[in-house]
Each structure stands twice: as structure tokens, then as C-alpha cells.
Amino acid sequence: MNSHGPNRHARVSIDLEAIRHNYGLLKKTAGDNHLIAVIKADAYGHGAIEVAKALMDADAFAVAAVGEAIALRQAGIKQKILVLGGYLRLQELETCIEYQLDPVIHQQCHLDQLLNHADLQGLQVWVKIDSGMGRLGYALDTVAGVIEQLGRAATLGEVRFMTHLASADNLESSFTEQQINVVKDLQLDHYEWGIANSSGIIGWPDAHNTWVRAGIAMYGANPMSNRKQTAVDLKPVMQMKTQILAVNHHRKGDLIGYSNSYTCSKDMKIAVIAAGYADGYPRHKIDTAQVKIHGQLCDIVGRVSMDMMTVDVSALETVNVDDEVILFGASPEVNDIADSSETIAYEILCNVGAHARREYLNKE
């Protein structure tokens, strides 16, 4: 029996109207540029097919792997789909041609396979340039050669360019400006480009160039490192909820959790809630994370276990078994949980969305 999803208490509600709101807001911020909705990793745990169907007016979608794109096409998604990781072998290139996918090419083997193919049938590709991320992309001194080789692929369709911003979440960093200038220095303005990611859309207007792509911001998490100062009217899309399993009364000095990690500082009322790291909630905690019960924020105390965590509910007058608990959503925000756990919202959303039962709101 599957120990995840419908067989456990923890669940997530996913508001598709919030997805549409966030896409519209980011589209407006991007001006006249096309907005690519990034739905890799099952839409960051939100459900790629459901999110794509909720965004039928999206300009394009992006995924990481060819298999993700096939699933979207088979579900009836018609828009342009970028495959950010490109293709690994000839069979995947054939699939991109068959399903009319836009692979991102970033190394010589991609060029070799394109040049050796008998009929690319107008396949459109995105050439990724490494402007400083140091991950995927052609080196700057090879770009002229890449363009020359692509020019010899007679059956190739439109060629576009892209790069990835490494530090756009930090408005104080000069590195993003350096990357933008690197692109300008290539003098390839006659091509369409995709430069800005979520933080590039919000914080760097100079990175808006024909195409932009939204990932984490589309799911309602502010991507900026100074998000308290960089306010954006994003709506949280995922809310994680569960139930109370037990309510216990402890005396001052009582120990709670594995390794006796928490000592009651006074007589306390502690609720045991049905969620843990098996549901994707982060185990690591450097600061006091909170949950919401009956509209009030309550501190998590002790260690997060596989299926349970303990919460100080001393301030609540009434709390009972089976009462609802909100682990994150509008409050606390997923970014708050990430801060308390020394991680990022991306990881939490992907993990929780992959484990918990999903309920979709506002499908129409």
C-alpha cells in the first residue's frame, strides 16, 4: 500500500486561480515580452498537467526533460514547450521533432546530432549561452562557431538564444548586470532571447528581452533575497494542511521528542500533529517554525519526526483532536518555513507536492 498521498492525513490544496493571477501579474511586469511558464518537476509539486490546463492562454511552457514534455502533449497541451535540459541521445531528438518540442542545446553533441539528421522538419531550438552561471551553455568564445554550424542545418527551423541569471535575486549584486552586458556584447540582437527568470522579471527590467520565464514566482513565492523590501502582489498557490492527533499536558521540565531535544520551560499544552518529513516537510530546523491553528500561529517544538511534529498550543483556549492545522500557505508562508530550515521554497514545494494528497481549487 502506498504510504503517501490519499492514505495520510497531510494534504495540500492548490488554488489554480492564484496561478492565473500570478501569471497575469508577471506577464504585466514583463511588458510586451512573451512569458514562459516553467512547469518542470511536476510544476514544482503543484501538478504539471493541472497547471498547464489552468493556463491555456500561456505563451509557452518549459520543462526539464523530454519525458515531461511528452506527458503534456499527450494531455492535450498545444503551446510551445521548451525542454531546458535538451536531449541526451538521438531518440530524444526524434521525439522533439515528432512532438514539436523546442529543445535547448548547450553542447557540441547537440550540434553534431542536428547536423547529422536527415530531416529536422523545421525543429525550433534554443541555444544556451553560459554568461556566468557555470552550469549549462556554450562558452562565449564558441558562439560564432555554434551559429556557423547551425547555419548548415538546412531543415532546422527558428533559432533563439537564452542564458540563465545566477544572482538575480540579489539586487545589490553587480553580477546580474555583468551577465546582461555579456549578452549585449555578443551583438546578437537580431535573435529572440530568453534571459530573465522569476527574479529577473521582478528586479531586472534590462533582462526583459523578447521572452522571459517564470518559475517559483508563478507559484506565489517571492524569489527576491530582500523580499520584505521587494513587495510583489503574488498569491500563494499551495496550502499544506493536516490534523491534530493528540493534545497532551506537560509540566515544566518535561522532555519532548527524539534526543530529548526540547525541554518545557513551563507547564505547557502540546499538540501532536499528523505531518512530518515523510510528507515532505523539512526535518532540519535552525529556528522556531510555526503552524496556524484556529487562526493563531503556534511554535513547533522538538524535532520534526517522520509522521508527526509537536506544537505549543498553550495560548489556545480550545484545541481538540482532529482540528485542522495549516503548515504553510498565506500564513505562515512557505518562504518562512524555508528560512527556518536553511533551505528554499522550491525544495519544500517540490517535496510536499510530491508526497501529500492534492486538492485543486478553482479549476474553471
pLDDT digits (tens, 9 = 90+) for 87-121: 999 999 999 999 999 999 999 999 999 999 999 99
State CA 238 to chain mean position distance: 11
Residue 18 has pLDDT above 90, yes or no: yes
Give the number of residues written for the chain.
364
Residue 1 has pLDDT above 50, yes or no: no
Q: Which pLDDT value is given to residue 286? A: 79
Residue 174 has pLDDT above 60, yes or no: yes
| Phi, psi of 170, deg, nearest 5 | -105, 105
Distances (CA, A) of 211 to 97, 124, 151, 214: 22, 15, 22, 10
Of the candidates 232, 214, 237, 212, which has an alpha carbon nearest to the alpha carbon of residue 222?
232
pLDDT in tens, 30-78: 999 999 999 999 999 999 999 999 999 999 999 999 999 999 999 999 9
Of the candidates 79, 66, 70, 71, which has an alpha carbon nearest to the alpha carbon of residue 37?
79
Residue linked to cell 523590501: 229
Q: Which pLDDT value is given to residue 230? A: 79
**Pairwise CA distance, residues 168 & 202, whole Å:** 9
Q: Which pLDDT value is given to residue 6? A: 75
Q: What's the rounded mean pLDDT across residues 127-131?
A: 98
Residue 2 has pLDDT above 60, yes or no: no
Distances (CA, A) of 238 to 43, 89, 93, 97, 111: 11, 36, 35, 35, 40
Residue 228 has pLDDT above 80, yes or no: no
**Pairwise CA distance, residues 264 & 255, whole Å:** 6
Q: Going by C-beta distance under 8 Å and a sequence separation of 6 or more, which residues neighbour residue 209?
A: 33, 183, 192, 193, 194, 195, 196
pLDDT in tens, 186-212: 999 999 999 999 999 999 999 999 999
Confidence tier at 288 by pLDDT (50, 70, 90)? confident
Q: What's the rounded mean pLDDT across residues 312-319?
A: 97
Share of the chain above pLDDT 70, in %: 99
Residue linked to cell 506527458: 71
Q: What's the rounded mean pLDDT across residues 118-146?
A: 97
Residues with catalytic annotation? 40, 258
| Phi, psi of 69, deg, nearest 5 | -70, -40
The C-alpha angle 72, 77, 78, rounded to 5 degrees, equals 130
Confidence tier at 287 by pLDDT (50, 70, 90)? confident
Average pLDDT of the chain? 96
Confidence tier at 7 by pLDDT (50, 70, 90)? confident
Q: What's the rounded mean pLDDT across residues 254-279?
A: 96
Domains of the chain: 31-219 (3.20.20.10), 238-361 (2.40.37.10)
Confidence tier at 314 by pLDDT (50, 70, 90)? very high
